[in-house]
Amino acid sequence: MSPPAEGFSKIGVLGAGTMGAGIVQVAAQAGYEVVACDRAPEALSRAQTYLRDGLGRFVRKGVITDGEAEAAYGRVRWTTELGDLGGSDAAIEVIVERVEPKKEAFAALDALLPEEALLLSNTSSISITELASATRRPDRVAGTHFFTPPPLREAVEVPRGLLTSDGTIERVKALLTSFGKLPVVLNKAVPGFVANRFLMPMLLEGARLYEQGVASKEEIDLLVKKGLGFPIGPFELGDFIGLDVGLDVLEYVHRELGDPYYAPPHLLKEHVRAGRLGHKTGRGFYDYGGGSEDE
């Protein structure tokens, strides 16, 4: 485990869905005091289970010891009160992939956190400049786009806003490196950043081919995996990241670019309307059994 980055000891995480819980685990394992906040007690309960299970898997694989797992879990404070994030050296927002809720969250965090604290977003597509406009510290706002699941994926996409300072980027890189991650700073912010400009077309093309009756979803996934050598097919990918998240990203990129190519397919919209969001609800393009409503 790397030593904590200079100037950081307490990390706030706003949003305790699957991604938020994973980021909590990453920060806690790195030795930071973590405050995990979500207004929904049931989300916090699921996140606690996620953390216990995730740490347990690392123990069984010999990555950490039982004592290290218990210490990591003990460094996390769970709360439904936004005010408990006050005093954090950095806060990572991990809520729904929509502009207005994120801006509201950033404005609230800006009022709570110390002047030098960083405001970071796990957004996978939204302009950091727009999110930073809701604060009085746009120079200390940046993106930290983790990938699913955060404890296992090494790279973290770091988009900057127009006013993000070079000093902030260096601090973000140091923080992510202390998490054991590989920060990849984007030279220019574009809707969808880099990762989703590759991933979303997979989901788009898969859905369109399926809607046109070219092949079944199972056959499309099989060709992408066994033919192209990808580790996951487009429908499996959509279910994994959450179809609601995929729809939010596509709608944002489509709106920002004005490119009809990114118009979300009807099939995806219908699955989201039906509450079939993927793994987290137990049903998406495929059925998984059980599941829970989780962002």
Task: Please report, for the chain, the start and end positions of each structural domain, with discontinuous segments joined by +.
Answer: 10-185, 195-281
pLDDT score at 294? 37
Q: What is the strand order of the sheet 118-121 is part of?
A: 76-79, 33-37, 10-14, 90-93, 118-121, 141-143
* Closest residue by Cα to residue 162 from 185, 184, 144, 188: 188
pLDDT score at 290? 58
22-45 burial string, b = 16+ CB within 10 Å, else e? bbbbbbbbbbbbbbbbbebeebbe
pLDDT score at 2? 67
* Residue 159, token pair as written in the block: 């988009």
pLDDT score at 156? 98
Residue with tokens 């460094």: 75
Q: What fold is seen in the domain 10-185?
A: Rossmann fold (3.40.50)
Q: How many CB atoms lie within 10 A of CB 3?
A: 8
Active site residues: 124, 145, 157, 196
Residue 98 belongs to what H/E stretch?
none
Please state the pTM of the whole predicted model.
0.91
pLDDT score at 4? 84
Length of the chain: 295
What are the residue ranges in the chain where pLDDT is below 70?
1-2, 290-295
pLDDT score at 292? 41
Helix axes 18-29, 66-74, angle to 10 degrees: 110
Strand segments (E) across the chain: 10-14, 33-37, 76-79, 90-93, 118-121, 141-143, 155-158, 182-185
3-class state of residue 28 by DSSP: helix
pLDDT score at 188? 86
Residues 48 and 20: beta-carbon distance below 8 Å = no
pLDDT score at 273? 97
Q: What fold is seen in the domain 195-281?
A: N-(1-d-carboxylethyl)-l-norvaline Dehydrogenase; domain 2 (1.10.1040)
